Amino acid sequence: MAQNRVAIVTGAARGIGAGTAERLAADGFSVAVLDLEQGAQAGTVQRITGQGGRAVAVGVDVSDEASVANAMAQVVQELGAPSVLVNNAGITRDNLLFKMSAQDWDSVLAVHLRGAFLMSRAAQTHMVRARYGRIINLSSTSALGNRGQANYSAAKAGIQGFTKTLAIELGQFGVTVNAIAPGFIVTDMTRATANRMGVSFEEHQESAAAEIAVRRVGAPEDIANAVSFFADQRSGFVSGQVLYVAGGPRN
């Protein structure tokens, strides 16, 4: 099947999104590098083009309907219709329930859940038309419950239900939808957690690694490798799955 090898990765200025954008570019995709401010993605775009790949930076707030529509139009105009969407953009606003503000609840659900919904709805138009697509959503081991993350774990569990429902709805159009649930990955997000807990990032990684079966924490490349599998045309019989990429068994 002739397919447009255009991938969109949200939250791709840094961390898992950046690693994923670079991997998909190495796999031969033209990559739309989406993040809040267009300038922040310059590093990711430069690393891709420096390796001979094709990438464009597109500014978006995934929780904003008009912003998503504009970003999608820009992607289609600059690279063509997307065949792969990776919903990776995310934030944390951790606190124990009694201290969690309604604003912290709303903003986390808005970026993860509303964001994945708006981006997927915008992308499926092109995928259904082409009778081909791959949507990959970032969940988390926190979906199983994690102290201080009522908002985030609800969003990440929600992502799993959202993934399975889209898989059912879109399968007949050649579109697969899967989720990846990472464990501890070294990024600014886990660095911020260490700061909040008052421990050094190194200590935080060491204590996390001791609890992980393979005795190490993960890197963005570990997640990018799983994304690459789901994004592959040959993975068309795998849909509605949640893959825990956490260095050991979960769920």
Ligand X SMILES: NC(=O)c1ccc[n+]([C@@H]2O[C@H](COP(=O)([O-])OP(=O)(O)OC[C@H]3O[C@@H](n4cnc5c(N)ncnc54)[C@H](O)[C@@H]3O)[C@@H](O)[C@H]2O)c1
Q: Which residue number, 43 or 236, has a Cβ lying nearer to ligand X?
A: 43
- Please list the helix, strand and coil fractions of the chain in percent, rounded to the nearest 5, in that order: 55, 15, 30
Instruction: State how far the Cα of 249 lies from the Cα of 34, in Å rounded to an integer.
Output: 31
Query: Which residues are CB-neighbours of 172 under 8 A, at least 6 positions away?
Result: none
Size of the site for ligand X (CB under 6 A): 28
Q: Which residue number, 132 or 184, has a Cβ lying nearer to ligand X?
A: 184
247 binds ligand X (CB under 6 A): no
CA distance to 6, 74, 190, 215, 221, per residue, from 203 (Å): 39, 43, 12, 14, 22
14 binds ligand X (CB under 6 A): yes
Instruction: State how far the Cα of 25 lies from the Cα of 94, in Å rounded to an integer.
Output: 33
24 binds ligand X (CB under 6 A): no
Provide the token pair at 176. 């697969």
CB of 19 to ligand X, least distance (A): 8
46-54, 56-64, 72-80, 234-242 -> range binding ligand X (CB under 6 A): 56-64
CB of 161 to ligand X, least distance (A): 16
3-class DSSP string for 93-105 = CCECHHHCCHHHH
When binding is defined by CB under 6 A, the residue of 48, 62, 81, 143 that contacts ligand X is 62
Residue 152 catalytic? yes
User: Which strands sit side by side in the sheet containing 6-10, from one edge to the other?
Assistant: 55-59, 30-35, 6-10, 84-87, 133-138, 175-182, 242-245
Q: Rule CB under 6 A: which of 110-139 touch ligand X?
A: 111, 115, 138
61-69, 94-102, 126-134, 236-244 -> range binding ligand X (CB under 6 A): 61-69
184 binds ligand X (CB under 6 A): yes
Catalytic residue numbers read 152
List contacts with ligand X (CB under 6 A): 10-11, 13-17, 35-36, 60-63, 88-91, 111, 115, 138, 140, 182, 184-185, 187-190
